Amino acid sequence: NAGVMQNPRHLVRRRGQEARLRCSPVKGHSHVYWYRQLPEEGLKFMVYLQKENIIDESGMPKERFSAEFPKEGPSILRIQQVVRGDSAAYFCASSPPWGGGGYTFGSGTRLTVV
């Protein structure tokens, strides 16, 4: 499969639990981006990562949210102590080193906090 793989597709967590969202980029892509889509809203940038580096995390909430893209394995978006307002669709995208051409998006993880 040449696309961006996100799992799980659906995730239900109780308030206060932790949510871990995984993203495997397109083979050969070294850049990963996470976006969040709240109900009835557009895609909001959260974080931009390269292998072992966070390049831009200006869209990440200051608390409870973290992201990593290790040398080996998928990128992880981690949300600690989830609250109802974290319920959203989280999309991961990947790209080669920037030279135009756009991103390839995954199908998203739909997080529901109950």
Q: Which two tokens stand for residue 53?
A: 């580096």
Q: Between 79 and 95, whose beta carbon lies closer to another protein?
A: 95
SS3 10: strand
Q: Between 85 and 97, whose beta carbon lies closer to another protein?
A: 97
Least distance between another protein and beta carbon 29 (Å): 12
For residues 20 and 75, what is the distance between their CA atoms, to the nearest angstrom? Answer: 10
The answer to whether 48 and 55 are in contact (CB under 8 A) is yes
Least distance between another protein and beta carbon 3 (Å): 9
SS3 58: coil
For residues 87 and 79, what is the distance between their CA atoms, to the nearest angstrom? Answer: 11
Applying CB under 8 A, the residues found at the interface with another protein are: 4, 6, 31, 33, 35, 41-45, 48, 55-56, 91, 93, 98, 100-108, 110
Least distance between another protein and beta carbon 23 (Å): 11
Least distance between another protein and beta carbon 36 (Å): 11
Q: Between 17 and 37, whose beta carbon lies closer to another protein?
A: 37
Fill in the DSSP letter of residue 25: P
Q: Between 14 and 100, whose beta carbon lies closer to another protein?
A: 100
Fill in the DSSP letter of residue 26: P
